[in-house]
Amino acid sequence: MMNFRTLKSGTDVRGRAMGENVQLTQDAASRIAGAFTHWLHEKGIQQPRIALGRDSRLTGKMLMEAAADGCRLAGGQAECYDMCTTPAMYMSLITEGYACDGAIMITASHHPSDRNGMKFFVKEGGISSKDLDAILTIAESDLPLNQGGIPIQKREFLPVYCEQLKERVRKGLDTDVQKPLLGLHVVVDAGNGAGGFYANLMEELGAWVEGSQFLEPDGSFPNHIPNPEDEEAMASISAAVKAAGADLGVIFDADCDRAAIVDHKGREINRNRLIALISAILLDQKPGRTIVTDSVTSSGLARFIQEWGGEHYRYKRGYRNVIDEAIRLNEAGIDCPLAIETSGHAALRENHFLDDGMYLVTVLICEAMKLKQEGKELSSLIADLKEPMESAEIRLTIEAEDFRAAGRAAIEKVMDHAAFTPGWHIAPDNREGVRISFDLDGEMDNGWFLLRLSVHDPVLPLNLESDVKGGVRQMAAALYQVLAPVEGIDFSKLTQFINQGEE
């Protein structure tokens, strides 16, 4: 029996699905889907109904069909929606007339075309890491998964999801007209993933979509990686917006749970800028709210949120971590409408705290339309966002066998050093790894770094930002002096970065 735990990636299953050394085979997909069905049965659902969808990957259809058969063999009722988005698969669980007990999305998000994966949902939201452990334990057991079940059904859900987005536009613009986006020019870049239909949706709402590109699903991703953080992808959508003279552009990853935009000048609005933009909109509606982000957000963003009347709450990396913390804060009575990672995973409370890139850009498009009617640009909302002069990310490989212990030792050494070193300040909102604010060139808190242990990999990611020239290399050199004695970590990338500044 295969060790299915090697396919675990946080709360998802992920692995190589084509070419040599295939990990996520049809048999694996079938057995894991069957285990998910059995897991639901153990929770008291007698004959679980499972919705299944896929993105545009070349292996998507065969893995979806294998997973559907696994659900059937485990005694479940499988409903295949074929090409879909990850957020839509969750919405199918809470939409009248569909309302399955669980959902499986076949996707590997922005990863290379030879990879694929499985994401799992129940009505309460995405499953936890602990839940996935239980499912994989069932998959590895000798439990017979051959109970027959009901024949697999084929249904469509994307048209229903599109109607939900259209309704959000009309609600956001406080109108019931059929084409509320008349006069707005939006360029859509789907990266040949599952989101090409969004251009059609915009057009049906009255927007002009000339210049939209890569809308046809193609799992080989021939034009660029469908990733809102990828430099080539963002350069492509930026060029398309400027060439078309559009008001803005939107870009999705392959399964549309992440997104970014560019403004009319082709300026990228992702990462800290994207967080600032949606935060400004929410805080303009109601000041005093708390915005939950991951740990690598900039100092400039924190100041921006504060200036807009909000509270910035940094938390651990990992979109489920950020979402779960936002939910916890709301349950504790704190008004928190947004959980968002710098990667583009954004979950709004008004949308069930579902990380839905398409819903996010729909909210932004509503705001862009309002501002255009006032003769303003969407990017005007973040004109006062102070951005660092320099930034860098360096990933340090941990070679020690017990990589978590080695990583923790490195972080503790930095914390011990910072506690007794002038100019090193442990951030008061340090909730992951160690975040140090620096005093550079005689000024206070004008640089910072965050050293943390990767959620999944034997890696210490190091993020640095500075408001003064040369500050990033200065901090990196100071950090290396502290970390150099630590064993089991490869510092070659750090020393290479430091020495590059001397060439």
Q: What is the pLDDT of residues 94-134, one digit of tens each?
A: 999 999 999 999 999 989 999 999 999 999 999 999 999 99
- Residue 503, pLDDT score: 45
Query: Taking Cα atoms as reference points, which of 205, 182, 202, 186 lies closest to residue 248?
Result: 186
> What is the full DSSP assignment across 249-317?
EEEE-TTSSBEEEE-TT--EE-HHHHHHHHHHHHHHHSTT-EEEE-TT--HHHHHHHHHTT-EEEE--S
Instruction: Output the pLDDT for position 469.
Output: 94
What is the model's pLDDT at position 456? 73
Q: What is the reported pTM?
A: 0.93
Contacts of 359 (CB under 8 A, 6+ apart): 87, 165, 168, 348, 351
Provide the terminal-to-terminal Cα distance of the chain, rounded to the nearest Å: 54
**90 and 323 Cβ atoms separated by less than 8 Å:** no
Q: How far apart are CA 222 and CA 192, in angstroms?
A: 8
pLDDT for the residue 20: 92
pLDDT of residue 457: 84
Domains annotated for the chain, with CATH where assigned, are 4-156 (3.40.120.10), 161-382 (3.40.120.10), 390-500 (3.30.310.50)
What pLDDT shows up at residue 444? 80
What pLDDT is attached to residue 388?
92
Task: Give me the pLDDT at residue 235, please.
Answer: 97
The stretches in the chain having pLDDT less than 70 are 1, 144-146, 501-503
Do 216 and 322 contact (CB within 8 A), yes or no?
no
C-alpha dihedral, 369 to 375 to 381 to 387, nearest 10°: 120
Taking the CA atoms of residue 483, residue 484, residue 490 and residue 493 in that order, the dihedral angle to the nearest 10 degrees is 80
